[in-house]
Structure formats: structure tokens, C-alpha cells
Structure 1
């Protein structure tokens, strides 16, 4: 390490870019390297750390131990602290990539949704809300069963609504209009929930995605105003 680097005060983002990748060169087994990376994520709270985890998982020495990887995500999704770096990582890296989205969604919510609804612990509900809200890019056939189960629990209705809204608006969002509308109609939401009427309008018209139906949302806004 140069004296220049020692004398420079780095931001958390700069530390992440400079050192997060080095975790996977440490003389540790892959599981402990991954645990160390998650510790660095907790310390820095920077999305780039999750990028290095993904790079290591896909690299020549990968894949990383799946139990440690997804335990790490689940633990941070359940924690009573900001999880933006983790949810952003799920959204743009794991969920937008259809080669990983099925496994990722199953690991962070799909496999556990029945337990979430049965146990209703604050930690499990927190994880479910966070995953549902960023699940727009996940294929509809993958996430619909979890959405249907989540509808059974009123505490998750707002998160399901936000998931449906993201499924329509996200560039890579995916939904089936009739099935999504049926779910939307089961949600107990305040009548004046922002974008509720517009979402119902576009789904009833059979639109799957904002970007596939240019103008549909604007038409819904005009019709619902």
C-alpha cells in the first residue's frame, strides 16, 4: 500500500471499490471469504460490495457456497436497518437476469412465503415486504404463487401492490394483466392509494408493461383524474 493511499481519506464507496474484491483473495475458504464480504457490506453499506460478491460467484473460482450466499441476503433483508444496497442488488443484478432470477427469488422469498404468512414475525414480514417491492423484473410465473400467498396476509397488501406496480413500470417488468388484476382486486388498500386506479385501468385494458404500451399509463391518468 502506498503512502499516498494511506494519507487519503476515502469515502465508503471508494473503500468498496478499492478493497471489496480483495476479500476473495484472502487465504480463507470460499464460505469465510463470503462471510467477510457480507461483514464489509454491513460496515460500508455500499452496493458495490454486492457487485464483488456477484463477480466472485460467477468467476473462475465460483460458484460461491449457496447456503452462505442466500443466508447472507436473507439475514440482511430481515434486519431492522436500511437494506437499500441489498434490495438494489436483488433488483438490478439477480432479478433482472433471467438466468438467476428464479433461484434468487425462491431463495429470498418463494421458498419461505408460507412460513412468512403462518409465523408473521416482524423479521419475516420485513424480508417479504422488501422482496415483493423489488420483484418487478422476476418472471410472472415465478413470482405469482408468492404473490397469491402474500395476499392472504393484509400486512403484506401494500407490498404486493408495489410489486404489481413495479411489474408494470419496470423496464424488465413482467406480469399477466388478468391474473394481476385479480390479485389487485383482493388487496385491502385505502381508496385513494396513489396509482391504484391507474394500475387497475391499464390491467383491465390488458396491458402488460409500460414500455410495451406507450401512452397507456398517460391514458389511464387522464381517465382516472
Structure 2
């Protein structure tokens, strides 16, 4: 299915006069100028949502373009379309697109970065976005343990720092039942403390941290336990706390 989406996007770009060459991309308008994937994304990704297609097919085409270009800007255009006067986009198609790519056996940095900075940092969308990509089916993920679903869970947990604690804490507790998710849970807790918009409740986070099955030599484990035990909830609200923890744990 992913390859079909890629080929559909490639055909669509060709219709716009854009084709891939060994060095990058070229357009019919300037055939002597090689373009990067980012330049192609900035110039053409938004046009997907002006196509004479059903909105769901526009979204699928945009995700195909994301697969083809592997560029974060495509996700920005998807978000812009969702927030536009013609939006919102169909939620089932939008979030199915994210879930499929989060489960892919390849690098999906553009997708996880999009979740982190666009959907999770925005508190008007973080709860629904987190639910769609993991919260709604975490029980199924933990019980069935399929590799694609576990890839998705690991990726979402790792970038979930900005999600409000009451939203993500039940999902964290469910993920706790599966030791394979403990390293990602730790990264989620660490990000919840260190991210500018990170959110956690120190006592609850410490209780979770103490139940993780991690090597005692895990980097930053002792420091995180120290700051949480001291009641600190965020690095930027307690700027000296981490340095104090580092000194105490060294």
C-alpha cells in the first residue's frame, strides 16, 4: 500500500512537471536546476489540497508525497490543510496515515518530529492526537505485541514529552505491563522533564520510573529519579535542578 502511495505521488509530481533524477529533482520550468526534496515539498506539497479530488484522496496523496520526499514540510502542509477554512481533514484518513507510517520498518523522523512539535506541543490538539496514534489502542498493542504496533508505540512514547500528564499517564501505565516498552517509556519520562513544553507530575512519574525494568547503568536514570524525588516537574521551571542532580549522582 505504501508503494502504491509513493507511485501515485510520483505520477502526480510528473503531472506538475517535476521528476526525480540521480542528483535530486528537476522541474520542466527550470530543467537545469537541481532541486532538493525540501524545495520540492515547499513548492508543490500544498498544491495537493487544491486538486480536484475527494478530500480523503487528497490526504492519501499528501502522505504518498511524504513517503516519496521524506520531508517534514509535507506534514506542515497537511496540518495547514487541517486548520484551513476547508478543514478539518477526515480524522480517520489523517490518523490512519500517521499510524501506518509510525509502524513502518524504516526511519520516520519527519513523522515523529511532526507529532512532537506540531500536534503534541499544541495543547489544543495533543490529547486527540495522542489518543489517535496510541492512547486509543494501547491495550491492544500490549496484548498482541505485533512488531509494527510496537514500533509505533515506541516512537510515540519517545516523543510524548509535551502531552499533558493526565492525558498520557494512563497510556504510560498500560505500557508499563510490557517490558519491551520500558526503554521508550523512560525516554518519554525524560523528555517530559527536559522538553520546553514537557509535562509530568513528579510523584506519579517517579512511581512509574521505579517500576521500569532498566539497567542500573542507564544514562540519566539516577539524575531523573533525583529531580523527580525532589518534586521538580520541568527542567525549564527548575533550571538548576538537573545540574544539582548530576553532582549528587556522580
Instruction: Determine if the TM-score, normalized by the shorter chain, exceeds 0.5.
Output: yes
1:75 is aligned to 100
1:32: how far off? Answer: 0.4
1:187: how far off? Answer: 0.3
- Alpha-carbon displacement from aligned partner over 1:52-108 (angstroms, at most 9, x marks no partner): 000000001111110000000000000101110000000000000000000000000
RMSD: 1.0
| 2-structure distance, mates of 1:4, 1:33 | 24
Match of 1:62 among 66, 87, 110: 87
Alignment of 1:106-125 (within 5 A): 106-125=131-150
SS across alignment from 1:6: coil
* Structure 1 position 171 matched with structure 2 position 196: yes
| 2-structure distance, mates of 1:3, 1:206 | 60
1:3: how far off? Answer: 5.6
Alignment of 1:25-104 (within 5 A): 25-104=50-129
1:152 is aligned to 177
Q: In the comparison of the two structures, how many residue pairs are matched?
A: 225
TM-score, L = length of structure 2? 0.89
1:214 is aligned to 239
1:5: how far off? Answer: 2.7
2:5 is aligned to none
TM-score, L = length of structure 1? 0.98
Match of 2:48 among 8, 13, 23: 23
* Structure 1 position 198 matched with structure 2 position 233: no
Moved over 6 A (4+): none
| 2-structure distance, mates of 1:120, 1:189 | 19
SS across alignment from 1:173: coil
* Structure 1 position 224 matched with structure 2 position 249: yes
SS across alignment from 1:13: helix
| 2-structure distance, mates of 1:3, 1:14 | 15
Unaligned runs of 5+ in 2: 1-16, 18-26
| 2-structure distance, mates of 1:165, 1:140 | 13
